Amino acid sequence: MPIYEYRCHRCQKEFSHLLLNLREERNIKCKYCGSKTLRKLISSFSVHQTEASRLANFDTSKPRGDDFYRDSRNIGLWAKKRMKEMGVDLGPKLDEIVERGRTGKILEDYEK
Ligand SMILES: [Zn+2]
């Protein structure tokens, strides 16, 4: 689905728009104030990052919403980075932990 995210210059709000035809783009208006001065944001739907760059961009100190935890890839990444930050070298066990993280168990076991 070609969903694009825009930020309005006038009201600074962000919204996503399903763009079926690229020629439609110039007709897109802000959903909130109707301004046509928009900046296209890189869509999270279309960006495929490598795991390394996902890890690098990861800030484990920030709270994550439910959406975040619904993505099992993020849980695995979170676990890996968190372990690294804590200086825990789990070696081969890490994969097992990440695997458990993907099923949601890691949050119970490691946030106590
Ligand atoms: Zn606006």
Q: How far apart are the first and last CA of the chain?
A: 40
Q: Which value, to the nearest 10 degrees, does the dihedral of the CA atoms of residues 59, 63, 66, 68 take?
A: 0
What does the pLDDT look like over 46-99, one tens digit per residue? 445 566 666 666 666 666 666 665 666 666 677 777 777 777 666 666 666 666
Amino acid letter for position 76: G
Q: How far is the CA of 3 from the centre of ligand 1 (A)?
A: 18
pTM of the shown model: 0.39
> What is the residue-averaged pLDDT of the chain?
72
Q: How far is the CA of 6 from the centre of ligand 1 (A)?
A: 10
For the segment 10-19, the average pLDDT, to the nearest whole number, is 90
Report percent pLDDT > 70 for the chain. Answer: 45
CA 1, CA 80: separation in Å to the nearest integer? 30
